[in-house]
Every structure is written in structure tokens, then in C-alpha cells.
Amino acid sequence: MVQVNLLCADKGVLDDLEKIRELDKSGMVEHCLNLPSYCIDAINLSKRGVQRFKSKLSSWKGKISSIIHAGMGGSAIGGDLLKEWAREKLDVPMEVYRDYSLPKYADEDTLVFTVSYSGMTEETLSAFIDALQKGCKVVAVTSGGRLKEFAEKAKAPLIMIPAGMPPRAALPYLLLPQMFILQELGLVKGLDKELGETVSILNGLKERVKPEVPTESNESKKLASVVFGTVPLVLGYGPLKPVAERFKTQFNENSKSLGFSSYFPELDHNLIMGWEPEDPITKLFTVILLRSRNEPKEIKNRIEVTSSLAFSKSSKVFEVYCLGDSILANMLSAILVGDLASVYLAILRGIDPTPVKTIEKLKAEIAAKSASIRSLELKFEGLILQSLRDDKV
């Protein structure tokens, strides 16, 4: 059990570099600060992967009527970001599925991204098999495991990404390959320009939120200090909806803290009623508003009116402004601030941000009880054998 003294934590610990290194045993701070360099590496491996499967991808051009991202946890966040990033770019619908199977409409004209960092996520392996059975155009993104084996045997496009890091730290590797495949298929364009702006902004931003920058000048440390001892409620809108969810899950996994997310304008039709009675419980929350200087006027008005009517009366409120002109720069600049804030909050709580023991224990117990991976292997092998027989007929 994690022991945390919420009343006596020394917030000066965030400016104690030795203490940060002592608590951050597995280097999650460095993973966060490496976001721009991970983006550059992911760009390069994505381009190589696209070239490797250029012939097959070319044969798919003009034949895609829908897109599905199948993944779980940290691997699924990349799908959420992809969907919002591409919303104004795609002429075909896209969905993110966190489940064992695909929707009934999935067919030979459906592009399916199966994404699992470990390659051992049973829901994603099951979705991969379902996609093959439905005749979908399947792509796999993974660092190894059974998903790699399945993709190789099925001769599906496979983008291999670096192993050995927590899945939540591998976001660029899970996200960017999908973007490059969409571009290669002619479904989106202008990716290189957006990435150039994004990497430049991230390189500048990391210098302002790194541990060496004192709390008074460090947005991520300030956010962690404000959230400490409360429950973060992160609110986004439109393209920042998945960013709000990313903040929430990083507080969950890195800080070992409860956290919640929602989005405008939907929250104005339900969530704000929780603040109407001015219940003392609302003081347990810190409301984090994700803002953009490009936000639509109607959203800007909603955020400001909602904050004035509800949140400012009983909760702490912290605004995080995205940087850049492109949606991708907006998304990843806010994510860098939030990721580091979640790590700094873990430091304030006196805990190592990297281990996720309860998740690992849950996976192990489920695997022990169901033997699901082996059953999926057998199902896949049967599918491949049937395919070989059909080819001979």
C-alpha cells in the first residue's frame, strides 16, 4: 500500500534534484522530457515502415470506407488522439474500439489499426483475429509479443517500435505510425509541416518544465503543487478531449491518484449540477481547464461562464494553454505539461511514478484464470491453416 502524508509533504521537494532522482527510480521524468526526441525517432521508423509495406498500402488506396483503431490503455490513447487530429481531415468515419471484437459493419473496406505496445494485450489480439475473419485491411503497431507473430504470419503491415519502456511513455511510437499510414493512403496530408512545428515547440517547452527549473517558473510543477491533496478533474473540448483523458490516466498511473476527465459542451448538460449545492465535497477537486488560443468562440464563452458559475466558487481552478497553431502541436504540448505534472505529483506524494503493480497483478490473475492468450493462439493458427487451404483450392 502507498503511504502518503497529505498534510506534511514538503513542496520544496520539487526543486530538490537529488530527491527527484531518488524517488524516480525508473526515470519517468526522462521519458517525459524525451517526448520531442521520441517523436523524431517515431517519424523515422514510421517512414521506414511505410516504405517496407508500400506495395500493399498502395493496393489499398481508394478502397477504404471506414477506419477502426483497436487498442487498450496507453495504446488506445493514441487512437483517441488520432481520431480527433484527423476529424477535419478524413472523408471516412473513424472509431476507437476498446474491446475483444469489432463492430458488425467492419469488412474488406475497413482499415483496422491493431495497437498493443507489449503485443500481449488479449483484447487487441482478439480484435486482430476478428479483423482477419472479417477480411479487413489490418495494420499492427507493436514492440513484439504475439501481435508481432500474428502480423508476420498473416503478412499484415507491421510497424515495429522500441521495446523496454512503460507503454504510456511510448505515445509517439504508438501514434505517429498510424498518421504516416493514413498519409500514405492519401487519406490525410500536411503531416510533415505539423510535425516540424510540433517538435520545435516541444523542444522549447521541455526546457521550461524540466526539474532544473524552479517551481515558481515551472508550469508542470505549479500544476502538481495545486493538485496535491485534491482530486484532479480535467476538462477539454473537441481536439483536447483525448488530451484531458491522457491527463487523467497519467494522474492515475504515474501519481497513483484518483482523477477524472470530461469535456465541453457535454459537461454543461450534466456535470455542472454537481457544483450547484456548493457541497463541501467539491473542495476536494482541482479543476484543470485545457485551453487553446484557437478555441472556437462558443467554446471560449462556455468555459468562462461555466468556470464563473460553478467551479470558481468551490474548487481550485488551473488553466493549461496549448502551444502552436496545429492541432498536433496543441495536443502534444499540453500532454508534455500534464505528463510531467503527474510525475511531479508522484514526487510530492513520495512515490515512484513508474510501477503499476495493481494493473500487472490484475493482468496476471486474469491470464492465470482464463488461459486466454493460448486460446487466441489456437484460434489464430486455425484461421491461418484455413486460409492456406482456401488458397490451394
Q: Among the options 84, 184, 219, 253, which is catalytic?
A: 253
d(CA 343, CA 35): 14
C-alpha cell at 41: 525517432
Residue with cell 525517432: 41
Residue 7: per-residue pLDDT: 41
> What CATH homologous superfamily does 34-189 map to?
Glucose-6-phosphate isomerase like protein; domain 1 (3.40.50.10490)
Residues 155-178 have a mean pLDDT of 97
| Separation of alpha carbons 79 and 117, rounded Å | 13
* Spatial distance between the Cα atoms of 246 and 243, rounded to a whole number of angstroms: 5
Strands 285-291 and 137-142: unpaired
The residue type at 185: L
CA dist 328 and 82 (Å) reads 9
Dihedral of the alpha carbons of 339, 345, 346, 350, in degrees to the nearest 10: 160
The full set of domain ranges for the chain reads: 11-31+214-348, 34-189
69 is annotated as an active-site residue = no
| Cell triple for 174 | 504508438
Span 38-62, pLDDT tens digits: 999 999 999 999 999 999 999 999 9
The answer on pLDDT for 244 being more than 50 is yes
Domain covering 11-31+214-348, topology: Rossmann fold (3.40.50)
Is the pTM value of this prediction over 0.85?
Answer: yes
DSSP element (H, E) containing 340: helix 327-348
Confidence of residue 1 (pLDDT cuts 50, 70, 90): very low
Q: Cell numbers at residue 91, please? A: 472523408
Q: How far apart are the first and last CA of the chain?
A: 60
Inter-residue contact 302 to 269 (CB < 8 Å): no
Residue entry with cell 486460446: 375
Nearest C-alpha neighbor of 202 from the set 31, 33, 338: 33
Top pLDDT among 210 and 373 is at 210
Q: How far is CA 280 from the centre of its chain?
A: 33
Q: Which of 269, 297, 357, 369 is catalytic?
A: 269
Answer for the pair 81, 39: CB distance below 8 angstroms, yes or no.
Answer: no
What's the pLDDT score for residue 380? 84
Which DSSP symbol is given to 286?
E
Name the active-site residue from 19, 363, 377, 379.
363
- Per-residue pLDDT of 172-204, as tens digits, reads 999 999 999 999 999 999 999 999 999 999 999
Residue type, 285: F
- CA-to-CA distance for 129 and 151, rounded, in angstroms? 10
Mean per-residue pLDDT over the chain, rounded: 93
Let me know if 269 is a catalytic residue.
yes
Catalytic residue list contains 253: yes
**Radius of gyration for the alpha carbons in the chain, expressed in angstroms and rounded:** 22
CA atoms within 13 A on the CB side of 243: 29
34-189 matches 11-31+214-348 in CATH topology: yes
